[in-house]
Amino acid sequence: MESRATISGNRGLMIEEPLIFEIGSDGRCGVDLPEPPAHKDRLGGMRRKATIGLPGLSEPQVVRHFTRLSQKNYAIDSGIYPLGSCTMKHNPRLNEKLARLPGLGGLHPLQPESTVQGALELIDTLARWIKILTGMPAVAMSPGAGAHGELCGTMTIRAALDARGDARKVVLVPDSAHGTNPATAAMCGYSVEPIPSNRRGRVDLAALKARLGGDVAAFMLTNPSTCGLFEDEILEQAAAVHAAGAFFYCDGANFNAIAGRVRPGDLGIDVMHLNLHKTFSTPHGGGGPGSGPVVLAESLAPFAPLPWVVHGPGGFGLVECAAGAASRSIGRLKSFHGQFGMFVRALAYMMSHGADGMRQASEDAVLAANYVRIALEDVMSAPYPGPCMHEMLFDERFLKDTGITTLDFAKAMIDEGIHPMTVYFPLVVHGAMLIEPTESESKASLDRFIDVMRALVERAKSGDAAWFHDAPRHAPRRRLDETRAARNPVLRWRPAGSTASAGQVPADKATA
Amino acid sequence: MRYLGLGDADRRAMLASIGVGSIDALYRDVPASAILKTPVDLPNHQGEMEVECAIAALAARTLPAGDVPCFLGAGAYRHHIPAAVDHLIQRGEFLTSYTPYQPEISQGTLQALFEFQTQVALITGMEIASASHYDGATACAEAVLMARRLTKRTGAVVSGALHPHYRDAIATNLRFLDARPVWLEPAPLADEDLAARIDATTACVVVQNPDVFGRLRDLAPLAEACHAKGALLVVAVTEAVSLGLVEPPGAMGADIVAAEGQSIGNGLSFGGPYLGLFATREKFVRQMPGRIAGETVDADGRRGWVLTLSAREQHIRREKATSNICTNSGLCALAFTIHLALLGETGFRRLAEINHATAVRLADRLARLPGVRVLNDTFFNEFAVRLPRPAAPVVEALARRGILGGVPGPRLFPDRPELADILLVAATETVSEADIETFATALAEAL
């Protein structure tokens, strides 16, 4: 422990906070509820027998607990968050306010359509904006996040191929792809084969062409790529994919670099998911909720998942049944009509920016990333030459012989009050550092970031490895033992003295 | 352009630093034919007030469930959410942080997830829980996929009284995999013999409790039958508040519980974002899909939390991962955790009791209406009634009078004409005696 340890373990504003289970007491309650009205129960003997074990806390205890927890989090509200491929841009508060309007946030999903016309129009409007921005004819709004959108898009491809009796078995994925891409392809019954990158960090077109054939269902590309580069041979890729009878899937996680300037529909793409929590700034909330609408070419649109929002003479309506025009739909992917609360926020973002602002935001994101690239590339090591798109990839060659890893470097950034960039992704370079400043940062903020990065590099190269190995020193916690967490998983609180495994039913031998 | 960090002078200076004359030079890798020559055909930027007015105008063209007597359920429930919940989840440190990839500066999110996992395990009566899924339906589909991996069997036997959206999510997820699911017919009072349908290909049986028609069942005999035949029991719960009063799935032998957590801490929001709860047995953890927070220590030996068991996940395992899930429902899980912390044991149980009592009073009142038959012998806060005429037009007529009078059978089962007269009605703590009277009176007139 630190030699200057305090009596309480607290350090000024950084206050140690136990679990709610350790501060609660029996019988306390933070909500005043009336006595239940008199009634004779209809539970048919299915009343809960055992106590649950939830702690009791007053409202002030709860508010203080979660306030203290919040203070242990870094956030885009507190500082630059250059987490590559994650697009941590500013989250406007107007969007929060609008999502909470009773006429939107207070709607039940199964109200009669006649009572939710404004909400259906909002979905339809957002869909129209998305179609115009992407230059694609159709969009499926219901997927719950980007990976769910990938699942949706890949399923529509599979359904379209099945409909033409074309039993293709393979999905091609670049070696730099997000892990969700191969995982998704596998969930649709496809085997996955990687396509290597070339020396310029792009998909090796010759390798792609060589592998394409009658057994390939789709090629899944991320563009701009996870190396922060625009795939400059994308038109040739599209032509080759289509010539082989396959579909061209684009992971749209990085659409924020080109929105308003380039339309994926003009690049030969057949299907692409968007991450509303990236490009369109719906807050990421410490891990969701996201929203992953999927734009579709005409050839895939009939297979879009339910529900569909449609507009007829009587107003807006929902197609919730795979019949009629929707008879070829892949079906429902989740309950109800998608992440509606995220739709409200995304539409507010898009309307606030407008056509000119979205284009400016894309350009500013690209400008900021290139500004950082130029300012750091003489001291760090870039595997591929620029210009980059909205994010800049470095590798760890500049740390060679220092005894310092990418992880050590990232942890030292934490002590400087900067959230580290994405590390060890993409997998195509050693010790990847993927920096995405976004359009939200001021020039002064970018300059401070650059100054700190250059100073850290200098310190690393000066041989002060211990500085990095010990980092972080000033975070709420020092380096956490992830190996221990995985080897001996403790995944929930249990009262002192209880056994680790308290299964109430004998182990099932068939499935152990 | 109030959200952009740069001004024109900054842009010029930065282009000069980079050594290019214009932004176009930075887009030089984009094929020239794909660069838009004219702006996309959308309006230009607008001020906060203009955007607020435009979206508020859409909101004005709805009938908010929060403002009127509301008896809708079927997987989404109107509950009162304490003010502290929304205040706390809007703290920027929670709202505007990413998935906790750097645990040393994400302890707030991670500790809250650890508390969430514990709460979910406790209320479902299971050993462990994940850090959330998109919603109950996707959690349920993932449960079936997990059962396939655990049993190395392919099929599933699915109750007809499972919420049709959950059923459809399972069907869509199994669509392109080798599986021959057995789907039972939906019927409000059917005594399904699910155990009889289990064979050597059955990975799991999927049931809902309370089921989509509101009925409660003792699942212990079914769990025994599943285990005797080498299958797992997956239990879906669409109303998490029921777990405060009803025997939890874990106590009846469930192997996986997939639940919708919206009822606790999360508003209706026209169907999303919601919150999938996923709980199972400890021995199954390495096949559990989704993020998990776990306890560990830091370099000074202090307790802390990290995302763990990532060897199951897509970013490590890629095509061999347990699921493709990445982003889940973090902030919804936080809202759930805060609301349930406020309720505690006493409040949660009482809230559930109030829901049940209110629904009992509603059932008794509706049963007195001529031609209306309450079908359920058991229920929690929702039940099915049979009307003497098709339910959908009745619901429309009630809506015109400002009453959201339940979910008509055809909304959930459009291809089941025999369920056209069925109306599902729910009553939570937000329903008053006066609401019940208003509803009963209007329903009598509408029939």
Question: Does the beta-carbon distance from B357 to A45 stay under 8 Å?
Answer: no
pLDDT in the model for residue A3: 66
By C-alpha distance, the chain B residue nearest A447 is B14
Cβ of B102 and A353 within 8 Å? no
Protein fold of A94-106+113-349: Aspartate Aminotransferase; domain 2 (3.40.640)
A-chain CB neighbours of B272 within 8 Å are: 109, 144, 289, 334-342
Would you state the pLDDT for residue A507? 34
Which pLDDT does position A4 carry in this prediction? Answer: 77
Quote the pLDDT of residue B327: 81
Is the Cβ of A320 closer than 8 Å to some Cβ of chain B?
Answer: yes
Please answer yes or no on whether A30 and B40 come within 8 Å at the CB atom.
Answer: no
What CATH class is the domain A360-478? alpha beta
Interval B342-352: pLDDT, tens? 999 999 999 99
Contact call for B344 and A28, based on CB within 8 A: yes
The confidence score (pLDDT) of residue A499 equals: 57
* Residues A344, A105: Cα–Cα separation, whole Å: 9
Q: Cβ A155–B313 below 8 Å, yes or no?
A: no
CA distance A461 to chain B (A): 24
- A82 in contact with B at a CB cutoff of 8 Å? no
Q: Is the pLDDT of residue A511 over 60?
A: no
What residue ranges define each of the domains in chain B, with the CATH number in brackets?
A: 65-80+345-446 (3.90.1150.10), 83-339 (3.40.640.10)
Residue A126 forms contact with B (CB below 8 Å): no
The model's pLDDT over A326-355, given as tens digits with 9 standing for 90+, comes to 999 999 999 999 999 999 999 999 999 999
Q: Would you say residue A504 has pLDDT above 50?
A: no
Q: Give the mean pLDDT of A150-157.
A: 96
pTM, entire model: 0.97
- Considering only the beta carbons, identify the residue of A41, A121, A358 that sits closest to B58: A121
What residues of chain B lie within 8 A of the CB of A285, using their CB?
89, 94-95, 97, 330-332, 334
A420–B176 C-beta distance less than 8 A: no
> What value does the mean pLDDT of chain A take?
94
Residues A260-271: tens digit of each pLDDT: 999 999 999 999
pLDDT tier for residue A508 given thresholds of 50, 70 and 90: very low
The shortest CB-CB distance from A489 to any of B66, B308, B404 is to B308
Which regions in chain B score pLDDT beneath 50? Answer: none
Residue boundaries of the structural domains of chain A? 94-106+113-349, 360-478
CB atoms A111 and B94 under 8 Å? no
What is the mean pLDDT of the segment spanning A437-465? Answer: 98
Calculate mean pLDDT across residues A311-321. Answer: 93
